[in-house]
Amino acid sequence: MVAPGGGGGASSWPSEGELDVVRQKVVEISGRVAGEVRVVACPYRICPLGAHVDHQGGTVTAMTINYGVLLGFVASDDAEISLQSGQFEGVIRFRVDDLQKPIENPENINWESYARGAVYALQNFGYDLKKGIIGYISGAKGLDSSGLSSSAAVGIAYLMALENVNDLVVSPVDNIQLDKSIENKYLGLENGILDPSAILLSRYGYLTFMDCKGCNITYRRSVDIIREFLSAKRLPAVKMHQVFFVMCILEENLARRAEHYFSETKRVVKGRDAWARGDLHEFGQLISASGRSSILNYECGSKEMIQLYEILLKAPGVLGARFSGAGFRGCCLAIVESGHAEEAAAFVRVEYEKAQPELVSKIQPDRRVLVCQPGDGARVI
């Protein structure tokens, strides 16, 4: 659950305590002093509106939350990379001047793959890497494969650490393409620009608005909101009667897919404007409508996820809810009034355990419902 805050201020994540833990781990494995340790903070992201339209070049909204990946690191004395993880055992060692070849079988992807993928992407974009890193990486426990883009956060963390120790100046837009190269070219996955764009471009207290056809950035102020755009050349406008005609000649399931795409595009624009006006009630209603369309028109969602979505809509103070991700696993997100956040969380814990007792028993108690705040973009601390 996300309880929106006002503009200004700063994200509460990462806390000094979280940073100290990561710095101390790096001190232990590197033998350096704490003052030398830098930390990349890469937050997880949610997309309140824009379900299943990013891969078709549509518009989406996004924001980061106050959970994510922390990568503490110091520069190596040479080209070697040495990494340890808070979630996985063992030590990764390889060199930045080793030639990295794409993974041929996706089943072979593991936590080492993202570090190698970052080196692969930087090599292939022509960046000169001379120094490696000694690092310790840790994500928010229990949130892997949760529909919050933890894999993109990991890839970006490695990119930013390697850029830092090699004195490379790389723009957020270029890092979006570098992370896309990790996912598409090295790992063989078909991910787009949504996840890295949200992680790199979001700002605390703001809603990020993206057109996934391109990657030019402009800024616009409305009330107390800065909206960031990834804009691109527009195709000629399609009139709604033309869309209706096309839908009439499509098979029923394809017509529903088209209905979802065009109605979701409208919801994104309406949601952007509602947020700018400070109308969170309308914003929430649009999120819930997005969730319904994903279920009915795009036919997404497992039984377990649909039940969770329906329970969230009944929770006190919830303004809107939908799946986070495709809806077949992971989690649901809800926008909730801050004064009702804990009450809503307690309601969902009880009701979902009634509906899915076996599933809930497998989830850590402190990870069943999380009350989150909007976060900031990826950065080196």
pLDDT in tens, 175-191: 999 999 999 999 998 88
Q: Which of 137-151, 196-210, 359-373 has the lowest mean pLDDT?
A: 137-151
Within a domain: residue 10?
no
Q: What are residue 70's phi and psi, to 5 degrees?
A: -115, 130
Distance CA 327, CA 344 (A): 21
303 pLDDT tier (thresholds 50, 70, 90): very high
pLDDT at 226: 28
CATH of the domain at 30: 3.30.230.10
Tell whether 364 is covered by a domain.
yes
The CA-atom distances, in angstroms, between 116 and each of 26, 175, 188 are 20, 16, 13
Q: Which residue has the higher pLDDT, 85 or 2?
A: 85
Query: Which one-letter amino acid corresponds to residue 4?
Result: P
Residue 113 placed within a domain: yes
Q: Is the peptide bond before 43 cis (omega within 30 degrees of 0)?
A: no
- Residue 139 belongs to domain spanning: 16-225+239-380
* Pick from 140-154, 304-318, 347-361: least confident: 140-154
Tell me, yes or no, whether 321 lies in a domain. yes
E strand or H helix at 231: strand 225-231
Decide if 195 is catalytic.
yes
* Residue 174 is assigned to a structural domain of this protein: yes
pLDDT, residue 367, reads: 87
372 or 142: which leads in pLDDT: 372
Q: Give the mean pLDDT of the chain.
A: 87
The whole-number pLDDT of residue 5 equals: 57
For the whole model, what pTM was predicted?
0.88
Within-domain flag for 5? no
State which H helix or E strand residue 336 sits in.
Answer: strand 331-336
Between 224 and 155, name the one with better pLDDT. Answer: 155
Among residues 54, 179, 195, 211, which one is catalytic?
A: 195
Q: What percent of the chain has pLDDT over 90?
A: 65
Place 238 in a pLDDT band, splitting at 50, 70 and 90. Answer: very low
Q: Extract the runs of DSSP E, i.e. beta strands, from 5-103.
A: 38-46, 59-75, 80-85, 92-95
3-state DSSP call for residue 281? helix
Answer whether residue 230 is part of any domain. no
96 burial via Cβ count (<10 Å: 0-12, 13-18, 19+) = buried
Count how many domains the chain has: 1
Pick left, alpha or beta for residue 343 (phi over 0 → left; psi -120 to 50 → alpha; otherwise beta): alpha
Whether residue 104 is contained in a domain is answered as yes
Q: Are 222 and 276 in contact (CB under 8 A)?
A: yes
